[in-house]
Homo-oligomer: A and B are copies of this chain.
Amino acid sequence: MSTPLRLGIAGLGTVGVGVVRIVQRHAALLETRTGRRVTISAVSARTRDKDRGVRLGDYAWEDDPVALAVRDDVDVFVELMGGSDGPAKAATEAAIRAGKHVVTANKAMLAIHGQELAEAAENKGVSLRFEAAVAGGIPVIKALTEGLAGNEISRVMGVMNGTCNYILTRMQDAGLDYQTVFAEADALGYLEADPTLDVGGIDAGHKLAILAAIAFGTRVDFSGLHIEGIERITIEDIEQAADMGYRIKLLGVAQKTGRGLEARMTPCLVPDTSPLGQLKGGTNMVVLEGDSVDQIVLRGPGAGEGPTASAVMADVLDIARGNTVSVFGIPADQLAAPEPAAASAPAAFYVRMSLIDKPGVLAKIATVLGDAGVSIDRMRQYGHTDPHAPVLIVTHKTARDALDRAIEAMEGTGVLASHPVAIRIEDV
């Protein structure tokens, strides 16, 4: 019989505990599937004395995750502490230096330091895997790196922050404004300690940066991402977008343009009948498009103990089976330098305006748009009781800078009651 694969787990929050549970509950099943026993040698967390609802007494305890990472009886360092730097990075680096495989769920660390960690792991000949870092339980890294390995990838899209999708769908379903639903989500414990990570699009942006690197064979480039959060999405936008047949999603999109890689995590409108438009609550969805496969859509839980631990175990079991793949799909030293696109691809836009209700104002808006080369697909003016008329426009496909010029010119006409809202409509 072959030797067991021995884990050292740093971080015993929900995901760490979930991993321990799977290893304990499915010992026989995992051995049958991989041909090796999977065991836990040691664990580490900030607080030792805490009932985590799981038996830990059989495992050695390390206060210091770096000490855990380099233990002789650890083959795979499982990093579940989080944080782009600090102990997570130090322990990951130490593990790699000591010739240990690393499995991590740490999207921030990979989005910021993915390149240097990948190079270190590949130089040392160890695996560095992170299925759990992107879209929770959905095996999307595997789908992209292996399942679609015969494709040139043309576009990757995803709704990858469950909190944001919960807030947006709850606003829509209950007709509540952003502040109210944000407070609800906070009370339910759905928000990170720093909620900007969620609602500001940072967390989802980390995930997109990782996917984009794999999809397009470029070094992970979080700083090249264009990120906007959902904080300024109003219930009016949600309701009026719905009236036009759209849903608003915090949508990540990465695609090659003629001039560089466009990668953005921003609110977008998608058709309400599309799989992305149908996605509700905390569920995640990733859309992968390739030259042969056309389009694959993956849907599943984006967070939580079980789903995230499931993804961690997928990586562990690949290592147990002896299966390897370059960290980002191709050798790290062959990843191309990032080349962020200067401009996003043309798109249709939803533009919401509040106009001073006087004769001729709509004509002024239409003229300004025409002058900027932006043509109108649909326009709606809503009934109103206050002196300002809500007006919605859906444009034909246009460059974003043309639209921005038009909006700037509108500001000069004196017919706007407030700054217009423009949201991209993504072709999905």
**Do the beta carbons of B295 and A300 come within 8 Å of each other?**
yes
- Stretch of A307-315, A364-372, A384-392 lying at the B interface: A307-315
CA distance A347 to B190 in the complex (A): 34
Question: Which residues of A from 289 to 326 have beta carbons under 8 Å from B?
Answer: 290-301, 304, 306-307, 309-314, 316-318, 321-326
**Do the beta carbons of A26 and B324 come within 8 Å of each other?**
no
Q: What number of copies of this chain does the assembly contain?
A: 2
Interface string of A1-44 (1 = CB under 8 A from B): 00000000000000000100010001001101111000000000
**Do the beta carbons of B275 and A293 come within 8 Å of each other?**
no
Q: A137-B293, A275-B299 given as contacts; is B152 within 8 A of A147 (CB)?
A: no
- Stretch of A106-114, A138-146, A173-181, A227-235 lying at the B interface: A138-146
Picked from B131, B139, B278, B313, the residue with its CB within 8 Å of the CB of A296 is B139
Instruction: For the complex formed, measure the closest distance between the CB of A42 and the CB atoms of chain B, giving whole angstroms.
Output: 20
Q: In this complex, what residue of B is CB-closest to A139?
A: B147
CA distance A217 to B29 in the complex (A): 10
**Do the beta carbons of A143 and B146 come within 8 Å of each other?**
no
- With a CB–CB cut-off of 8 A, which chain B residues contact A322? 323-324
Q: A295-B300, A299-B297 given as contacts; is B131 within 8 A of A317 (CB)?
A: no
Instruction: For the complex formed, measure the closest distance between the CB of A404 and the CB atoms of chain B, giving whole angstroms.
Output: 35
**Do the beta carbons of A139 and B150 come within 8 Å of each other?**
no
**Do the beta carbons of B310 and A301 come within 8 Å of each other?**
no
**Do the beta carbons of B306 and A292 come within 8 Å of each other?**
yes
Question: Which residues of A from 137 to 170 have beta carbons under 8 Å from B?
Answer: 137-139, 142-143, 146-152
CA distance A325 to B146 in the complex (A): 13
Asked if A200 is at the interface (CB within 8 A of a chain B CB), the reply is no
Residue from A26, A273, A304 having most chain B Cβ neighbours under 10 A: A26
Q: A26-B150, A334-B32 given as contacts; is B309 within 8 A of A292 (CB)?
A: yes
Residue from A300, A312, A326 having most chain B Cβ neighbours under 10 A: A300
How many chain A residues touch B (CB < 8 A): the figure is 60
- With a CB–CB cut-off of 8 A, which chain B residues contact A331? 32, 35
- With a CB–CB cut-off of 8 A, which chain B residues contact A307? 292-294
**Do the beta carbons of B148 and A33 come within 8 Å of each other?**
no
**Do the beta carbons of A324 and B323 come within 8 Å of each other?**
yes
Q: A32-B330, A334-B32 given as contacts; is B278 within 8 A of A293 (CB)?
A: no
**Do the beta carbons of B294 and A297 come within 8 Å of each other?**
no
Asked if A201 is at the interface (CB within 8 A of a chain B CB), the reply is no
Q: A139-B146, A325-B323 given as contacts; is B300 within 8 A of A297 (CB)?
A: yes
**Do the beta carbons of B321 and A321 come within 8 Å of each other?**
no
Asked if A65 is at the interface (CB within 8 A of a chain B CB), the reply is no
**Do the beta carbons of A296 and B137 come within 8 Å of each other?**
yes
Q: In this complex, what residue of B is CB-closest to A334?
A: B32
Q: A300-B295, A301-B294 given as contacts; is B32 within 8 A of A317 (CB)?
A: no
Q: In this complex, what residue of B is CB-closest to A140?
A: B147
Known contacts A35-B331, A146-B318; can you find 13 more A-B pairs with CB under 8 A? A33-B330, A137-B292, A137-B296, A143-B143, A149-B318, A150-B317, A151-B310, A278-B278, A291-B306, A292-B309, A293-B310, A293-B311, A297-B300
14 contacts between A and B (CB under 8 A): A22-B292, A29-B152, A33-B326, A34-B149, A137-B294, A139-B142, A143-B143, A147-B311, A150-B312, A292-B313, A293-B306, A293-B310, A294-B301, A322-B324
Chain A residues with a Cβ under 8 A of chain B: 18, 22, 26, 29-30, 32-35, 131, 137-139, 142-143, 146-152, 217, 273, 275, 278, 290-301, 304, 306-307, 309-314, 316-318, 321-326, 329-331, 334
Q: Which 7 A-B pairs have the closest CB atoms?
A: A139-B147, A150-B313, A323-B323, A292-B306, A292-B310, A293-B310, A297-B299
